Amino acid sequence: MAISNRRKKYPGVYAWILLFLVLNICPAFASERKSTCVKIIFDTDMLTDCDDAAALGILHKLADAGEAEILATMVTSSYPMSGPVVDAINTYYSRPEVPIGVPKKDYGVYRDNSSFLDSVAAEFPHRLKSNTEAYDAVALYRKILSGQEDSSVVVLTVGYMSNLAPLLKSTPDRYSALNGTELIRKKVKVWICMGGNFPVDDASDNVNFTRDPESAVYAITHWPGKIVFAGREIGHTIFVGDRLKDTPVDNPVRRAYQLHRERAKAKHWNHHTADPTAVLLAVRGILNYWNLSECGYIDIKNNCSFVWKDHPEGNQRYIIQKMDREQLGLILEDLMVIPPDKHE
Bridge partners, residue 43, by sequence: 74, 157
Q: Smallest distance, Å, CB 91 to Ca ion?
A: 20
Q: At what angle are helices 137-146 and 180-187 packed, to 10 degrees?
A: 40
Q: Which of 26, 158, 295, 298 binds Ca ion (CB under 5 A)?
A: 158
Q: How far is Cα 158 from Cα 276, in angstroms, rounded to an integer?
A: 9
Q: Pick between residue 230 and residue 295 the one whose CB is nearest to Ca ion.
A: 230
Q: Pick between residue 52 and residue 201 the one whose CB is nearest to Ca ion.
A: 52
Q: How far is Cα 116 from Cα 256, in angstroms, rounded to an integer?
A: 5
Phi, psi of 187 (to 5 degrees): -105, -25
The pattern of x and - marking residues 76 through 115 that bind Ca ion according to CB under 5 A reads ----------------------------------------
Q: How far is Cα 198 from Cα 316, in angstroms, rounded to an integer?
A: 12
* Span from 3-11, 13-21, 32-40, 272-280 in contact with Ca ion (CB under 5 A): 272-280
Site size toward Ca ion, by CB under 5 A: 5
> Which residues, 6+ apart, have CB-to-CB distance to 122 below 8 Å?
none
Q: Smallest distance, Å, CB 128 to Ca ion?
A: 19
The pattern of x and - marking residues 45 through 74 that bind Ca ion according to CB under 5 A reads x------x----------------------
Q: How far is Cα 34 from Cα 65, in angstroms, rounded to an integer?
A: 10
Q: Which of 159, 166, 180, 329 binds Ca ion (CB under 5 A)?
A: 159
* Span from 158-166, 174-182, 254-262, 303-311 in contact with Ca ion (CB under 5 A): 158-166
- Give the burial class of 214: count Cβ atoms within 10 A of its Cβ; 0-12 exposed, 13-18 middle, 19 or more buried: middle
**Binding interface with Ca ion (CB under 5 A):** 45, 52, 158-159, 275
